[in-house]
Amino acid sequence: MTRKPLLIGNWKMFKTSQEANEFINELRRQLATSFQDDREVTLGVPFPSLEAAAQAAVGSPITIAAQNLHWEAEGAFTGEVSGPMLTAAGARAVIIGHSERRQLFGDTNEWINKKLSAALKYSLTPILCLGETWEDRKTGRAFELLGRQLAEALSGLTTPTLVPLVIAYEPVWAIGTGQTATPKTAQETHAFIRQWLTAHYDHSFANAVRLLYGGSVKPDNVAQLMDQTDIDGALVGGASLKPDSFARIINFDR
């Protein structure tokens, strides 16, 4: 099966509505003569800029994603945003379990499982993030940790329900540090994730899930990463904040 590459820009807490509009218009201009439709593009946008970003992306190959959601549709949850609110604002996907959410805001695997279920319920493509610290990697516990994250995040979810799932492997030690996992290390980890999905679901499903690499992805290393058998795309942080650098990542040579 050929999996269509997916390039996701995660803006984190950057860009007002006006800045989002300007960015997308410029990115559209840069992609107008160079974009190849053998790949997909998504932007993970802060909540206040979602609607402006979605409107600016109309008629383009760009899909808009939120960066988080609450698992309830509504209620007394001050400061939270629900799936129906995201879809109404124009989001079609949502990032769940990013390491910053886990480390800074206390998102547990149990919460991530609830958020994943909510995303699927409200027809949002879930982009599930996994990753280990340098201590886990150094002591040989990386695969054990990733297996636990997968098991707890996907608990109770069946293959038919999970068809839209995207998984982003982001070693915590490579996020925003300039340090990137070597293509060999990234491939070995992605292969482990696909093997885990095969063992716990089935080969057909595991072979269809797109696995992305995240962690200091840049225009000068994306092609090497994308050349690996089990890497189907990238979750890009800092390099997605400028249209020219993100356009160069999107237009990597296959």
Question: Are 108 and 141 within 8 A, CB to CB?
Answer: no
Name the active-site residue from 100, 132, 170, 190: 170
Residue 170 annotated as catalytic: yes
Residue 200 annotated as catalytic: no
Question: Are 63 and 50 within 8 A, CB to CB?
Answer: no
Residues sharing a CB contact under 8 Å with residue 48, sequence separation 6 or more, in sequence order? 16, 17
CA distances from 194 to 39, 132, 190, 217, 229 (A): 20, 17, 6, 21, 11
Name the active-site residue from 98, 100, 132, 190: 98
DSSP 124: P
User: Which residue intervals of the chain are DSSP H helices?
Assistant: 17-31, 50-57, 83-89, 99-105, 109-121, 134-138, 142-153, 159-162, 183-200, 203-208, 222-226, 243-250
Active site residues: 98, 170
